[in-house]
Amino acid sequence: MNVLRTLLATVSIAALPGLAVAAPASGPVRNIVLVHGAFADGSGWKPVADILAKDGYIVSVVQEPLTSLADDVTATNRILDRQNGPAVLVGHSYGGAVTTEAGTNQHVVSLVYVAAFVPDEGETVISLIKSDPPAADSIAPTADGYLLVDPAKFPADFAADLPLADARFMALSQVPWNSKIVSTPITTPAWKAKPVYGIVATQDRMINPNLERTMYQRAKAKVTEIKGSHAVFISQPRAVANVIEQAARESR
C-alpha cells in the first residue's frame, strides 16, 4: 500500500503544471531535411531519401525557388519549422549556402554539406568560385538575368557518372538560377555554432574539390571523400546517406 501511495503521488506531482520533471534521455535524431542546389530540384534527392526512409528516418525535401538567397532560406525555414523535433540539415552545391543561413533555425542540430559551398560571413558564392575556380566553364546567363548550364556540356560537367540519358534529361529540366544570388553575402554562418559534416566529390567539375576541402577544413567538418561527380548524391546515394546517418547518430 505504501508503494502504491508513492507511485500515485509521483504521478500526481508530475502532472502538475509548472513543476520541473526530469526529461527523458535524448535519443538519436530522426528528422532529415534535404536542400537541393542550383540548376536542380528536390527530385534529385530521391535515391538518398529512399535509403534514409528505409533506415527509419523521417525525410523532408525543400523545393527552393532559386529566385534569391532570402527566398530560398525562407523556403527552407518553412520546412524546418514543421519538424517535430531536432533535424539534420543537408545541402548540396549552392544548397550549402542556403544551409549555412537557414541552419541557425532552432530545429537544426547539425549540418551536412554535399559537394557544397560553405561561405563565411560576408562571403558570396562568386567570391568562393573565383578563389579556386572549377574545371567547368559552362554556365551562361539568360536574357532576363538567370543562369543555366549549357545543355550540351551539362552531362560532362554536372553528372559525368550518371547514365547519359539521365544526365541529358537533367540538362533539359534544370531550374534557372537567379544571377543575383551569386553575389549575395552570407550574414550568419550556422556552421560556426553547430557540428558540420562535409562530402568532397573527388571528380567534381562544378565546384573545385580543393575548394570543398578548404571550406570544410575552415568549418572544422568531419570530411568524407567520395569518388563521384557533382551529382554524387545521385550516383553514390548509399555513401552519401551513410554520412547523413552518421550526423544523425552523433547529434543526440
pLDDT for 26 equals: 56
Element (H, E) at 243: helix 237-250
Neighbour count for residue 23 (Cβ, 10 Å): 6
pLDDT for 101 equals: 98
pLDDT digits (tens, 9 = 90+) for 30-43: 999 999 999 999 99
Alpha helix segments (H runs only) across the chain = 2-15, 46-54, 69-80, 95-102, 125-131, 154-158, 164-172, 209-218, 232-235, 237-250
pLDDT digits (tens, 9 = 90+) for 52-105: 999 999 999 999 999 999 999 999 999 999 999 999 999 999 999 999 999 999
Rg (CA), the chain: 21
pLDDT digits (tens, 9 = 90+) for 16-35: 333 232 233 356 799 999 99
What percent of the chain has pLDDT above 70?
Answer: 89
Q: Which three cell numbers stand for residue 58?
A: 523521417
Order the strands of the 31-35 sheet from edge to edge.
Answer: 58-62, 31-35, 87-92, 108-114, 196-201, 222-226
CA distance 241 to 143: 38
pLDDT for 27 equals: 66
Which of 99, 128, 118 lies closest to 216, judged by CA? Answer: 118
3-state secondary structure of 36: coil
Helix crossing, 69-80 with 95-102: angle to 10°?
A: 60
Neighbour count for residue 17 (Cβ, 10 Å): 4
All structural domains of the chain: 29-250 (3.40.50.1820)
186 has pLDDT over 70:
yes
